[in-house]
Structures are given as C-alpha cells and as structure tokens.
Structure 1
Amino acid sequence: MTHSVASRRQFLKTSAVAAAGLAVAPAFVPSTAFGANERIITGHIGLGGQGRGNLGKFIKNAVAICDVDSKHAEQAAKTVNDKAGTKCEIYGDYRKVLDRKDIDAVVISTPDHWHALPTIHACEAGKDVYCEKPLTLTVVEGRKIVDAARANKRIVQTGSQQRSSSNFRKACELVRSGYLGKLQQVLVGIPGPNHPGKPVADSDPPSELDYDFWLGPAPQRPYNKNHVHYNFRFFWDYSGGQMTNWGAHHIDIAHWGMGVDDSGPISVDGKATFHPQNWHDVTETCRITYVYPNDVTMILGQRQKDVRLGTTFIGEKGKIFVNRGKFEATPDEIGEIKLTDSDVRLYNSSNHHGNFLDCIKSRELPICDAEIGHRTATACHLGNISCRLGRKFAWDAKTETISGDDEAASMLSRPYRQPWELT
C-alpha cells in the first residue's frame, strides 16, 4: 500500500489549478480589509428554490436581491427583513447589483444558462462569487470563468456542497490513501428526469416575469410555463438534465476520489434514450463510459439497475459506496480504518457556505474552486454530447479539445443571443 502526505496547501496546489499552470495565491488582496468580526456584504442573483435555500445560509449578509421574477424577489426580500431585520434593495438586472461598491460577493442561483455571464462580470467588478452547480452550460464557459477568477484575483466557490460533508471526504481519503488497492472502476448513479409532465401550449408570460431577460443569451423561444423556473433543467437551451443536476454532484465526488480535479477523462462513450413523445429534451436513461488516465473507468448510469444512486469506488481490495447520509465499505474493515497524518488528508470543510465566507477573508482557494467546478461540469457536458450524438470520442483534458469529430467539438460552446456576448 502506498501512502502519501498531502497537506491542505499541497492539495490545493496539486488539484485545484495545476492544469491551468496557475499558482495558488493566498497573497490575493481582498477588496475590503476584513476585520475578525466585520460583516461580509452579499448580493443574491436568482431567488428560485435553490436561491432561497442559499439566501438562508447568508441571511445576515444579504443587502441586495435580484430576480427577473418580481414575486421571487419580493418574497426573498421579505424573508431577509423578517429573519434578519435587514431591508434589501430589489433589482431586476444583475448588473445593477454589481455596480454597488458596498457589496463584497454575489451568490448566483439562476438557471444554468445564466451562470457564466454574471460570474464573469462579478469577477470583473471585483466581487467574489458563490455560483451554483453545474458551474456552466458549456465547456467553453467554464474556462472563461476560471480565467476571469484568476485575472481578477477573485474567490469563486462552486455550490457542490457534498465536498463539505464528512462522509464524502472520508470515502475519498480512504480511496486516495490506497486502502482499496489500485482503483479500477467508479460508478456514478443518477435518477431519471422529474419532468413537468405533458406539454402545454405556449402563452404570454405572466406580468411578474421579465421573460426576455430570463432567456438572456439563450435562443429566442415563445414562453411556456413548463420550460421556466424549476423546469428549465429539462431543456438543452438552459441546462443538461439530471446529468448536470445530480451528475454534477456525484461526478464531483468521483473526481475528488480519483484525484483528477485538474484534469478529466481521455475518452467518453455514451448511449441514451429520450422521451418518446419529446416532452423534454434531456435523457430518460443513459449509460456513459469514461476512461481516465491510469486505466480507471467511470460508468455513469441513469436508471441502470447495476449502478446505485451516488458514487461507488471499486478497487482490488474492496469497494466504498457513498451518498448523502450513507457510507458503506466492503469489507467492513475498510470503513473502520482510522486515518492518520501519514495518509492522504483532503481539504476539510464542514460548512460549504461558511468556507466561502472564510476564503473571502483569507484569500485561500475554497474547497470547490472554479477550476474544480469547471472540470466536473466538463465531464457532465461531455457525457451529454456523447449521448446526444450516440458515439464515442476522445478528449484532451490539457487542451480541452475534441479531435477527429467536428460535430462533437462544435458542441463545446454555443452561440449567444444578441446583445449578450461571452468575451
């Protein structure tokens, strides 16, 4: 068995930004010289279900609420006033939030197609960012986000909160410390789509929704109530289905356990089924084979009987299954191992939102830095591309390119609807 010592700083250097050739920079200069008890001021962009959940974690920090649905915005502002006694300003345009000099950080909980531009613009405005997973809608957007974070010396935390749970960290530390022997295979299980049901007719948008702004860079489409708010995730224009929903969570843990936070697969081969009446765009079922360096294969299964929901690591000496509230090792003795300082010890966070606030003050990279979130989202996007095309392709994680398949390569980015631009 091979053991190695991996301090928190060493882990950050080797797994967060090594592929980008960038140095970890604890010497970042914060926009505010925070004192020990100084309040970090946050603005919140996107206040649907996940946005309200994130708001609750920053309730004492919030001063600005932004949503293109005025009902969502008003409800969120009332929540802050009721629970924290703070009056929030309400905005319909996120750029007005970024114009405020008193705001230190923004929390972005919009649909996926609205992650990249606010994150990049926030970095350029000198704000730190907490952005929900998946970090992006496309692969190209992810690299743009990382570049913006580095160029502007910003903290960007991806909302993959499983990294801040002890059972996931324990599983990954045991795998990385070699207690399964050579890692052979990783299984990632995701559920089927919980779509809104039968299609309904297009209609005029409700008066409280600025639908044109909701679409933003996405293609022009008529308003349909089954496509907006939570239902955005079932249509390619805005999201990637359960692959970028639950897959983003469980692939993130798979990458952590494999030690590939700064790289990715070398090939992707996906097969999928889709709804027979086209009620939505995204996969109904899928099975995707990812091959990683060192001969490790990751199988992502959607509604596959042999792939449990969650992440399963399989090695020469046993296996470990982990999911929210669950940790199972085979044989049992593996799960009873007490890790020591001579084992691989990974970044230790017990509060994902708190870790973001801590890093705003320390200027250390957060537990799920933009580079990590980008690499996880990339694996999700590559899987969806392979499923949509129904064929295998090779991926170069260093150059972030697909060679030998022009159609697949063209799907690494998407055109933006004017006047929105990704620069």
Structure 2
Amino acid sequence: MTQRRDFIKKTLIGSAGIAVTGIGLSAKSYGSIIGANDRINVAVIGIRGRGVSHIDAWCNLKDSHNVRIKTLCDTDEQFFDPRSKTVFDRTGATPLTEWDMRRVLDDKEIDAVSFATPNHWHALGTIWACQAGKHVYVEKPSSHNIWEGRKMIEASRKYNKRIQVGFQNRSIPNVIEAMKFLHEGGIGEVYMARGLCIKPRDSFGISPDSTPPASLHYDRWLGPAPSRPYNEKRGHYNWHWFWDTGNGDTGNQGPHQFDVARWGLNKNEHPVSIFSTGGIYGINPAECAQETPNTQISVAKYKDGKILEFETRGRHSNAESSLGIKIGNVFYGSEGYLEINGGTWKAFRKQDKEPFAGSKVATAEVASLTGSSDTEHYINFLDAIKSGKDETLHCDILDGHYSSAVPFLANISYRLGGRELKFIGDSERFENDREADKMLTRVYRSPYVVPSKV
C-alpha cells in the first residue's frame, strides 16, 4: 500500500508538474517555505451553504498548516451556534461570531478572509478586505459584474494582497494533467471547447413579501443590491435566480466549466463576440418567482476564431459523451477530442472508439491521498500568502476575472434579447452599444458602493 501511495504521488508530480505542497499535507515540505511556521488567522464570511465547505477546509488545515479560524461572520445569526460547534469539535477552539463584516475587517489579528457570501457581495467585501490589509479567498464567480472584477484586480495590486478565486479545478491534479496534455498538442490544435451544466432544478414556488426573521440583518444582507421588501423566496440560496443578487446557473455552476474551457483553449483574454439565448422551460412562471433562465445556450468567439460554447439545462436531461458528463467539458482538436468529467478525462483520436490517453490515477484515489480539491486550492492560497507572489496562485483574481466575465457577457446578451454582442477586451466595453455597456456595472445602493478608485 505504501508503495502504491508513493507511486501515485510521484505520478501526479511528474505528469502535472505541480509542487509537493499542492498535493500532500507534509509538514516538512510546508515548513521549507519562508514564514511557514507563522499562524494564519482566518475569518469565514458567509457561513451557510458553501461557507460550510470553507469551514471544513480550514479545519482540515489547522495542524498541518497552522491555520486558525478566528471569526465566523454572517448577516444571519441563526447559523452562529451550529457553525461554532463545528469549529470547536474539529479544532478545540471556539471562534468569535460577528454579523458586521466591517468589524471583522477591523481586527488586526486576522490575516485572510474567506468569502462565501452571495455573488453581489463578492467585490465590495473583497475590496474592503484588501484595503484592511487582508488576503482573500473568494468564491466563484469572482464578482457580480465585469466592472467589479476589474476593481478587484486593481485592489489586489494596489494593496499587494493575494486574491484566490474558488475555481477548484485549477488545483485538481488530474485536471492539471489534462490541461497540460491539451496545451502540448495531445489532440492537435484545439479549436473549440464545450462546457455543460446539466442540473435539473424544480420550481421553488412563490411567497408574499414579509418581515425579515429576527436573526437576519436584512439591510446588510442586501448590501449593494437595490432596496426591496424581504421575501423568503429571494433569500437563502434562491438569491442565485434573481439578477440583483445572482447570475443564474450559467453564472453559478457555469463559471467552473467556463474556466476549464478557457484554460483548455489557453485564452488569457476576453472573447471578441458573445451570443446567448434561452428561457425558463418546464416551470409555470406564475408559480415560480425565478428571473434567470433555466435553459440557456451561449457561444463566445475569440479573436483567432476559436470557440467557447456553453449549455445550461435546468430540467430533466440526458448526460453527454462516453463519460456521461452532466457537469464537465469536451474539447475538440484537429486530431481528436478530449472529455473531462470532474477529475477523470479521456482523449480520443479522430473517429476511434477507444481512448488513447486519459487520467492515470482514479479521482477517488487522489482524494484519499491529497484531501478534496477544495483543500488543495486552500493550500495553494496559503502557499501564495507565504511566498508573497501572485504568480504562485492557481487562480489569481485576473484569471478568475477572465473566466467569470464570459458568463457575465452571455447573460448580458440573453437579457438584451439574445443579440450578438461585440466586445472590446482592452477597454472592457462593447462596440457601439451603450445599452449593453450599462449592464457591465450596476447602480449601487449607498453606502454599499463599489468605489471607482480603490
């Protein structure tokens, strides 16, 4: 068994070209980093849903990487007791709890913040954190709109703070291996990437406006979004399906696969055109408050003609490819194609029925050795904090911005009736389209304003 574990680690390092600290939790290897013995105090902001995964990852790293969850923060205080108990049970220490993010950021002892808030809070929270001298791990999409993403990049660079975006695929050894294979010409010249988000979701219904629960600081929850009465169907998790707070499934699950698609195409730039169409199907609009589409097809083209296409299917559907992909990608090249489903991939030559290359180590085996992809991504974030170098991040805010921008552009096209839009990447503006330009940002509700000068 020991020989097998050693073999897998050597295989992963050799084939994917990643550092030892990106694979295991070896105290010896981690201790070789300058300053690695300094404790890193973390605050988790947003502790429902995805925030649970953040808490779990940081608890996993308590001993191996000297991480302490000092504070848990959420605008809804109902989650304080159960999440605090989780941290205590896992680490033996009880964290502080706070509903006001600004008080958390005022704490000089906190080195990094981990954001799992709704999308509309990602940018302002991150910018405030950088200004307060904190490093940031922020969930995908990196922001709520394109203009915000650019402000986050500016904040990172101005205050010299690391911002890691939660595109965990960037830290999965098998995915790294697949990208390396594509970039080295494994299927010839890659001319098209396809992303899939097949997630059937039933109607979540409707309800009248009501009084916010006593545990919820509703004005702070709204933050930069327009003021409106509280409605339980627009709150926890359902915020994804309303334009003021979310970006639909194309901008929810979708960014992960947009990121892998752009990575495989090797495009560190914006597309020059985008088209997207769709709608809400299989649900009676009179019985569901949802605004964003549950079915959407998006096509982006880069200046060299390469194509990124993406499909969101929110109703009952078949999977695709020999791997049965529902959440994943397919790449098409001059000499064949490559399928990737989670951490498993296969490559096929032209019309061959059997793969000629693929992932060498089962995803389950990798996870048993390295921890989850989440854990690997957090380790990489810690490594970058220690090194003080943005380039050591697997998904620096610039990469996160490029990958988040594509679904944002798709949603703008969709909301403008599905018309094709021409985009000028250098200035991040549309070509002769003032109506579309207005949708690159939003009107912010005072005092929750993303500043033009960070």
Tell me the TM-score normalized by structure 2.
0.80
Q: Distance in 2 between matches of 1:81 and 1:263?
A: 44
* Letter of the structure 2 residue corresponding to residue 290 of structure 1: A
Secondary structure of the corresponding residue to residue 253 of structure 2: helix
Q: Are 1:320 and 2:338 counterparts?
A: yes
Matches within 5 A, 1:178-189: 178-189=185-196
Contact persistence 1:186–1:254 (CA under 8 A): yes
Q: Are 1:137 and 2:160 counterparts?
A: no
Task: Call closer, same or farther: CA 1:272–1:54 in 2, change over 3 Å.
Answer: same
Q: Distance in 2 between matches of 1:195 and 1:238?
A: 20
Q: Are 1:333 and 2:342 counterparts?
A: no
Task: Call closer, same or farther: CA 1:51–1:34 in 2, change over 3 Å.
Answer: farther
Secondary structure of the corresponding residue to residue 356 of structure 2: helix
Contact persistence 2:338–2:346 (CA under 8 A): yes
Structure 1 residue 140, shift from structure 2 partner: 0.3
Q: Distance in 1 between matches of 2:359 and 2:140?
A: 32
Matches within 5 A, 1:200-279: 200-260=207-267, 262-274=268-280, 277=285, 279=288
Higher RCO, 1 vs 2 (CA within 8 Å, ≥6 residues apart):
1
Moved more, 161-170 or 298-307: 298-307
**Per-residue displacement from partner, 1:213-251 (whole Å, max 9, x unpaired)?**
111110111111111111110111101111111111001
Q: Are 1:360 and 2:385 counterparts?
A: yes
Structure 1 residue 34, shift from structure 2 partner: 6.5
Q: Distance in 1 between matches of 2:374 and 2:118?
A: 26
Contact persistence 2:34–2:387 (CA under 8 A): no
Q: Distance in 2 between matches of 1:337 and 1:326?
A: 9
Structure 1 residue 171, shift from structure 2 partner: 1.7
Q: How many residues align?
A: 385
Contact persistence 1:180–1:317 (CA under 8 A): yes
* Letter of the structure 2 residue corresponding to residue 92 of structure 1: W
Structure 1 residue 37, shift from structure 2 partner: 2.2
Structure 1 residue 350, shift from structure 2 partner: 7.8
Contact persistence 2:187–2:337 (CA under 8 A): yes
Secondary structure of the corresponding residue to residue 339 of structure 2: strand
Runs of 4+, deviation exceeding 6 Å: 6-9, 304-307
Q: Distance in 2 between matches of 1:412 and 1:191?
A: 27
Structure 1 residue 212, shift from structure 2 partner: 1.2
Task: Name the structure 2 match of 1:415.
Answer: 443
* Letter of the structure 2 residue corresponding to residue 405 of structure 1: D
Q: Distance in 1 between matches of 2:426 and 2:241?
A: 30
Q: Are 1:197 and 2:204 counterparts?
A: yes
Matches within 5 A, 1:105-124: 105-124=112-131
C-alpha RMSD of the superposition: 2.4
Moved more, 189-198 or 210-219: 189-198
Contact persistence 1:272–1:388 (CA under 8 A): no
**Per-residue displacement from partner, 1:309-331 (whole Å, max 9, x unpaired)?**
31111001111111214312213
Moved more, 152-161 or 262-271: 262-271
Task: Name the structure 2 match of 1:76.
Answer: 83
Contact persistence 1:105–1:128 (CA under 8 A): yes
Q: Distance in 2 between matches of 1:272 and 1:407?
A: 20
Extract unaligned runs of 5+ from structure 1.
1-5, 10-32, 339-347
Structure 1 residue 401, shift from structure 2 partner: 1.1
Task: Name the structure 1 match of 2:54.
Answer: 54
Task: Name the structure 1 match of 2:171.
Answer: 164
Choose from 301, 306, 325 the match for 1:291: 301
